Amino acid sequence: MAHCGKNYILLQSFFMALIEPIIFTDMDGSLLDHDTYSHVDADELLAWLRNKQIPVIPVTSKTRAEVLVLREQLNNHHPFIVENGAAIFSPVDYFKHGIRDIVEHDGYQLKEFVASRAHWQSILDNAGTHLNEAFISFAQAGIEGVVEMTGLAINEARLASQREFGEPLKWLGTEEQFDAFSQYVVTQGGQLLHGGRFVHLSGCCDKGLALRWLLSEYQQHYVGKNIVSIALGDSHNDTAMLEAADYAIVIRSPAHDYPSLNNNAYQHVYKTKQQGPRGWVEGVTHVLNHLGYKD
């Protein structure tokens, strides 16, 4: 029996060496607390993940400027996905193989999925008075308005306002106006995504599309290993990302119900009991236990 037990441990270690988990995480309401934007409750687990060299990929509605600050606070040096999947920024030389369809941008390799912010602002400008009165954009609100809408400090609001690939909107109108506005946006080649607080106008992209593109690069990076994708999110705009991952962790929100998923029969879905970063720890620990990474 002792011999069999030793063989089992060796076999388990062999399979563990072949598995490479990659964590894709929403930020607001997931890794960051919904109200305070704090990540302190997840810091211990994040340090453990760094020690195990398990990548944690921010996938967020936030801007590049915001994520750069957060990555420094989190001691995170991995690629990141911004503005609801509109673009991926990867540190130069992070991937040793040649990356397809990218441009060099401020020390990062940039993959863009949509047009620039100016394009989407022009679409808003041409929406018509009856629709323009139904929302206020970040650009219209200005820094002080963004502070009021988000509760962010003024320096944080400046970072949040540095959109590059789309425009957040605070919706003020009726459901009928929203339906008309949605139809107008579609005719212009755009789409609307609901986040935790705002509606985001951009092109035909989502967090799931960006996740799949980045996963394909990791598959070339980790040759011979079985990549296991783990996604965490709490909102409707996380749905595509959650559905694209092998393991979906749906984090309980204080503001709304769990987003519904059209998961396939092979996907593992876990809904947390805890909220925010505590739910993040709960979910990641559950999946890593399932994979045999944590006791």
Report the alpha-carbon distance of residue 122 to residue 152 in Å, rounded. Answer: 27
> Among 26, 28, 33, 206, which one carries the catalytic annotation?
26
Q: List Cα–Cα distances, 114 to 35, 49, 61, 65, 196, in angstroms.
A: 30, 32, 14, 18, 22
Report the alpha-carbon distance of residue 22 to residue 3 in Å, rounded. Answer: 33
Gap between the terminal Cα atoms of the chain: 23
**26 carries an active-site annotation:** yes
Do 110 and 89 touch, CB atoms closer than 8 A? yes
Neighbours of 175 (CB within 10 A): 8
Do 37 and 241 touch, CB atoms closer than 8 A? no
Q: What are phi and psi of 31, to 5 degrees?
A: -70, -25
Query: What letter represents residue 21's amino acid?
Result: P
Neighbours of 180 (CB within 10 A): 17
Catalytic residues: 26
